[in-house]
Chains A and B, each alone.
Chain A
Amino acid sequence: MNDKPNSSRLALLALAIMPLILLALTGAWIISSDPLRVFDSGAPPVEKLIFERLFLDENGINMKVRAEGSEPMTIAQIQVDDAYWRFTQTPSGSLPRLATANIVIPFPWVVGDAHTVVVVTNTGVTFERTIEVAVQTQSGSVGNLRAQATVGSFVGILPVMIGMLFFPLLMRLSANSMKFVLSLTLGMLAFLLMDVLEDAFELARATAPAFQGSAMVVLVAAIVCLGLVAFGRRNGAPTGLALATFIAFGIGVHNFGEGLAIGAAIATGATGLGAFLILGFAIHNVTEGVAIIAPVIRKKPNIPIFIALALLAGAPAIPGIWLGSYAIEPHWAALALSIGAGAILQVLWEVGALTLRGAGGFQKNLDWVFLGGFTFGVVFMFLTGILIKF
């Protein structure tokens, strides 16, 4: 009796392994016989170099590059502004596929100028990266981190809290007005979803092709969304405080993305936009406070819960700025934004369900109040977006 499950388990194992053995044999045959050899035209190997990070400091220009050649690549020389410069590469030597190296060029960059770095490989192929506006990259000193945290609070936490101050007003609204507010939240979240996806795709394009960035953005967002839906519904569809928490989380990841953008603006010298940009983000984000409290209007939560929600939604802007100003690699930023997209998608799903599946069902609930609120949310985000898009 005991033998049977054992043997069937062995049989299963064999069934699983057999195709793998066949694959291994095929692989061995391909490598040993090299069937593509007849197509060898003598063309040089494909070379590709991705600039993942670039920052400027007192040592000159610092870069992290990733090789993506079909064969190991060798960086032979580096030009800055049409002149060859010494450089140090760590680790030294040729770079196998997907390997990274840090490069320091002792170049006397000029504050406010544009500079162009050209990497020349041993085959003479060139890869160019432009520094639009040269500025000292913020060092990770306590003072800098604190200043950046302040900026993060202004664009993240503060506007969300201000938005929450609409709570007493919302409390006095009729059922229809409440529906308008929830629809507005949906419109706003839909806008944020598009926004965060666009940023994620843009970052994904800057990553090494081997990372298959665009596909990963979509799939990570989908997995995160489904995971959050499954998690949120383990005790039935989330409403009230649970839903508010999910909205705050989704908005929080989105604000992390906005923090990255602001940090990158600081790092690449776009801080000339400065106060205006920060004010724009603040106004843009006030609606987020309204969105978070919309599901809990009838619950009358206490002040600490408000604060916790505001922090969950707003505080991620601070680490976002820290990482963004330190020139985070594009694949990590794309991953973070994909998670944000998934989180917002889940919130859209749940708030949509709450708004549209109420009494009377989908047909009845998709009315002018809903459409008006949704459109108002999109238009508000669009108009305030004008302040922050450059």
Chain B
Amino acid sequence: MKRFFDKITNRRDLLKGGAALASGTALAGLGASQTAVASTPYTDTIDPANPHPSMQSMGSLGDMVTVGDVGMDINGFDVSELLTDWETGSVEIDDDGQVTRTFHVDAEDRNIEIAPGVIFPAWTYNGRVPGPTLRATEGDRLRIVFRNFGSHPHSMHFHGIHGASMDGINGSGLIGPGEEFIYEFDAKPFGCHLYHCHAFPLRAHMHKGMYGAFIVDPAPEKHPENNAVALSRKLGTPENQEWQEFIMVMNAFDTNFDGANEFYAINTVAHHYMKHPIKVDRARPIRVYLVNATEFDPINSFHLHANFFNYYDHGTTLTPTSQIVDTIMQCQAQRGILEFSFKDHEVGQYMFHAHQSEFAELGWMSVFDVQDSEG
């Protein structure tokens, strides 16, 4: 009986027409994870000078944003924490001082919530997209123990310097479901790199989520001429701790298999860093490791609002390859390091996003929340 009355009242709401629906009190749909939709004032009559009064109350994105929020329920990881989640492996040092760094990576099929309420049947490294950010130091011996728990053959093809037998293609580390392979090579050259699955069809394995960042920090002792820079790049040094470092993998998802992406983001979840701005301390410099893992679109880009940065293409140099720029573009698999500071800026929210408007408005839009540290 109650359901019958519900229907009656819904029907009545419906008859009241658009005005009642848009009053801002209407439910946003999609259950408990839904955030309330902000109420916007409206008028019954249209003012020709201002035909869209609701647009006047826009926040940074206003109404042009995905509805809801992605929590940890389905993904099991917090997208905000991916930014600084460096996987450094386990370290052994032999008598000669040679470091051997071992990583464990498992391929597995897994559903990922790529936007609020949108579930993507992904292929993942360690259950996340992008895969773990593997971070080593120039000259480390690397051992990556790769196991395939997925339903298809997979591999890890590293963008780095290694022998043919470690390349992660057919016959050299491409393994079937249930198999294991250990990739062994030295970490070089230093820079901001990536790894991805090189099973064919490559396009499918890429867009299903099989990619991750691979960062090789310069060994300061090998770079006496730029020692200070190298020290600041090497994870864990006091110089490095002055910096606020973030990994941002630009990626996108084709949810309807039409060869074009429906959702764009950095680190998978559309609009996540709009809804959860990245907090940075105004006093300390910022370093972004940026990787383009976008499939289907030939290029992606990064544009920073109200500021300029130095750019190190591929991160393989200690002096910038582009200076004082506010926009860079990367082709598929291109990557680099951005360095900038808000030291002389007023505190507040500073956007950054792809400057292809389409990518930005389909999710690749983010914001730094620049504040003074409390200390």
Complex interface residues of chain B between 15 and 64 (CB less than 8 A to chain A):
18-19, 21-22, 26-31, 34, 37, 40, 42-46, 51-55, 63-64
Contact with B along A39-60 (1 / 0, CB 8 A): 0000000000000000101111
- CB atoms of B55 and A84 under 8 A apart: no
- CB atoms of B46 and A136 under 8 A apart: yes
- CB atoms of A124 and B262 under 8 A apart: yes
Question: Is residue A120 within 8 Å, beta carbon to beta carbon, of the partner chain?
Answer: yes
| Whole-angstrom CA separation of A58 from B64 in the bound complex | 16
- CB atoms of A85 and B117 under 8 A apart: no
- CB atoms of A104 and B22 under 8 A apart: yes
- CB atoms of A124 and B118 under 8 A apart: yes
- Which chain A residue lies CB-closest to B55? A108
- CB atoms of A82 and B361 under 8 A apart: yes
Inter-chain contacts of A79 with B (CB < 8 A): 262, 362
| Whole-angstrom CA separation of A84 from B253 in the bound complex | 14
- Which chain A residue lies CB-closest to B38? A86
How many residues of A are in contact with the other chain, CB < 8 A?
41
- CB atoms of B358 and A92 under 8 A apart: no
Contact with B along A105-145 (1 / 0, CB 8 A): 11110010000001011111110000000001000000000
| Whole-angstrom CA separation of A376 from B128 in the bound complex | 73
Question: Is residue A90 within 8 Å, beta carbon to beta carbon, of the partner chain?
Answer: yes
- Which chain A residue lies CB-closest to B43? A58
Contact with B along A54-94 (1 / 0, CB 8 A): 01011110100000000000111111001111111111110
Inter-chain contacts of A271 with B (CB < 8 A): none
Q: Which of A59, A87, A102 contacts B67 (CB 8 A)?
A: A87
- Which chain A residue lies CB-closest to B361? A83
Residue pairs across A and B with Cβ atoms less than 8 A apart, 29 shown, are: A58-B42, A59-B18, A60-B54, A62-B18, A62-B21, A74-B117, A76-B30, A76-B67, A76-B115, A76-B117, A76-B118, A77-B117, A84-B65, A84-B66, A84-B362, A84-B363, A86-B28, A88-B22, A89-B28, A89-B30, A92-B28, A101-B29, A105-B63, A106-B40, A108-B51, A123-B255, A124-B119, A124-B256, A126-B256
**What 4 A-B pairs are tightest by C-beta distance, nearest first?**
A124-B255, A83-B361, A76-B117, A92-B29
Interface residues of B (CB under 8 A from A): 10, 13-14, 18-19, 21-22, 26-31, 34, 37, 40, 42-46, 51-55, 63-68, 115-120, 253, 255-256, 258, 262, 270-271, 358, 361-363
Interface residues of A (CB under 8 A from B): 55, 57-60, 62, 74-79, 82-93, 101-102, 104-108, 111, 118, 120-126, 136
